Chains A and B, each alone.
Chain A
Amino acid sequence: MAIISEAFGPFLAESGPNDRREAIVIYKTPEPARAMRERRKKRMNPRQKRRYLSDLAQIQAPVQLASLRKYRKAGKARLPKSDPRDLETSTSGEMEGAMPFAYVQVTRKTLTALRQSKNIAAVIPNQRIHLLEPREIDYQVLRSQEQAAGMTWGLERLDIPGVWAAGNTRGSGIRVAVLDTGVYDQHPALTGKVADFIVVDPLGNRVTTGTRFDGGSHGTHVCGTIAGGKDRNGVDIGVAPGADLLVGGVLIGDATLRTLVEGIAWAVQQGADIISMSLGFTYYEPQFELLFQQLINLYGILPVVAIGNENHGNTSSPGSAPSALSVGATEKMSSTRTDVAFFSSGASLSFPGATIPLVTKPDVCAPGVQVYSSIPPQQTSSGIYEYTYMDGTSMATPHVAGVAALLMAAKPNAGATDIADALRDTAYHPGGNARRPDNRWGWGEIRPVDALAAL
């Protein structure tokens, strides 16, 4: 039985019985004779390859052509007598038969008939394709724009100064735990921001170190976006510069789930209000839902988790847990517009019979491409660097964690669920609210000023 692409869904649901749609039919290719198989195994020069394809086409073309004739005939029988036009069919031109596909017009009825064909592997709708739109933002241009604005593009896009003013807070009194590669707390943008630090080893042991350090640069970058101050050019990098950071180095060495769980337990004991996690693995693990429900319902802690950089159709745990506030990444396309970054993950998870039968991830999006933030100092041939640009849902997540800190500080009576709901409800989806949530934007790119007003 042939596979009919799910992308035909709108056509099957909304078209009339005789409406036509262009489609691509992919054939099951007949197994070539042994002599052909032997030729295929050998290394061929371009001329030999062309000859091989031509010979292959001669074998396969009759199968395709007979199949198309049969399809046109069957189609005619299914069309109304008032429509004299045959269903259009064509193959791939010069090398007809070499490629196992053909173009056909389908109707709802013939599509159903194609499903029964023994010679067809799949049918997909012909679609418009387009160039991936190049970003109008140049790296150097962005840098000068951020210096002129006095803040990163992410802070400007989310109107963080608007939240600072409307909420009369920069996150003071809120404790944000960052479970990551650690932090370089001597960084000038992070001075005095790290309230506590611990390393958790792969066996789940808590290791207190004399020096706070970053096993890479990821954790310091994330911390800068949550609570960093200004860089040397006066650019604000942090969303909630008044918040206290609790940094758990759980990604130093070979981390395991046990490491992560102990890091979460430590954050709970240190009084965290939010736990920011730019980490994960690639299958759905139901136990994280239990754990996150406990964090939210028992301790009032909001788990904010990156959804992953695996592109559309994927999610990662623990971001895929229904109770996680999962975050996708947007990128700046022009001075007024963002789009979801091509790498940003998202999918719907189905749980037949469960209280929540369908979970759509991510929950929200935030700036996650060309994010400027702090790193441990790095000596290069052209000098010492303390800041850099990074891309990823890892960089979008601390924007949301920082905003949650601002909202919690401004609205002390709001619980973790209230904060998450306000961020989802007020998020901006360019397709309009009727499209929300979907697997690219989730509920949309967060609008912190509106979320504050909604609480």
Chain B
Amino acid sequence: MAVHEKLSAEFRERLDALDDGETMCVLVTLASPKSSGTPRRKREHRKQILAEVEVHTTSTLDELRSLIDASGGEILGVSRPLSIITLQAGRRLIEELADSDLVAGIIENQPIRGIESR
């Protein structure tokens, strides 16, 4: 597996087992704009960078919206600072999104837990 393939091996297995008409909740990471400037400038200009990323997220989402709507996907939420959208989607839409240059990766939403203290 590459360090960041678009779909993990575990997710591919789950996707292959998905029946027609069945959907799952996924997080879609959009391809992000490249960073610029020094780290110090980034801290000082967080608001400006956030604004740029949010514009990028919105425009990318607009480009993907027709694909999502045509395939019956439902947008559940958008994390604009991270360029991540939450979708309820079927197998075909997920595969089409994974093929898109506008998408960097897709992950199934799943439970997380605290690392228990002992």
Binding site for B on A (CB under 8 A): 180-181, 203-204, 216, 218, 221, 250-251, 254-262, 264-265, 268-269, 271, 273, 278-281, 283-287, 289-291, 294, 297-300, 306, 308-309, 316, 322, 343, 351, 353-356, 359, 390-395, 412-418
Could you say which of A181, A261, A394 contacts B82, with CB atoms under 8 Å apart? A261
Q: Do B114 and A256 have beta carbons less than 8 Å apart?
A: no
Contacts of B114 in A (CB 8 A): 180-181, 216, 218, 251, 278-279, 394
Q: Kindly state the separation between the CA atoms of A235 and B79 in the bound complex, as whole angstroms.
A: 41
B109 touches A299 (CB 8 A): no
**Closest CB of chain A to B8's CB: distance in Å?**
5
- For B3, what are the chain A residues with a Cβ–Cβ distance below 8 Å? 286, 289, 322, 351, 354-356, 359
Instruction: For the complex, count residues of B whose C-beta is within 8 A of A.
Output: 46
Let me know if B23 is at the binding interface, CB within 8 A: no
Interchain CA distance A343-B117 in the complex, whole Å: 11
Residues in B neighbouring A261, C-beta threshold 8 A: 27, 79, 82, 84, 86
- Answer whether residue B21 sits at the interface, using C-beta atoms and an 8 A cutoff: no
Whether A300 lies near B42 (C-beta < 8 A) is: yes
Say whether B110 contacts A415, CB under 8 Å: no
- Of A250, A254, A394, A414, which is within 8 A of B117 by CB? A394
When A218-B117, A280-B112 are in contact, do A300 and B79 touch as well, CB less than 8 Å? no
Which of A265, A280, A393 is B80 in contact with, Cβ under 8 Å?
Answer: A265
Q: Which of A254, A285, A395 contacts B107 (CB 8 A)?
A: A285
Between A and B, 14 residue pairs with Cβ closer than 8 Å are A218-B117, A254-B111, A257-B27, A257-B110, A281-B113, A285-B107, A287-B105, A290-B105, A298-B32, A299-B49, A300-B40, A353-B2, A394-B114, A415-B38
Chain B residues within an 8 Å CB radius of A284: 1, 8
A221 and B117 within 8 A (CB): yes
B82 & A291 in contact (Cβ 8 Å cutoff): yes
Q: CA–CA, A355 to B3, complex, Å? A: 8
List B64-109 residues whose CB lies under 8 Å from chain A. 76-77, 79-84, 86, 104-109
Instruction: Pick from B39, B43, B84 the residue with the most CB of A within 10 Å.
Output: B39
CB distance from A309 to the nearest CB of B (A): 6
With a CB–CB cut-off of 8 A, which chain A residues contact B105?
A: 286-287, 290
- Tell me how far the C-beta of B98 lies from the nearest C-beta in chain A, rounded to whole angstroms: 12
Q: How far is the CA of A356 from the CA of B83 in the complex (A)?
A: 25
CA distance A124 to B40 in the complex (A): 53
* 10 closest residue pairs by CB, A with B: A415-B39, A300-B42, A390-B117, A391-B118, A265-B79, A300-B39, A287-B107, A297-B35, A286-B4, A392-B117
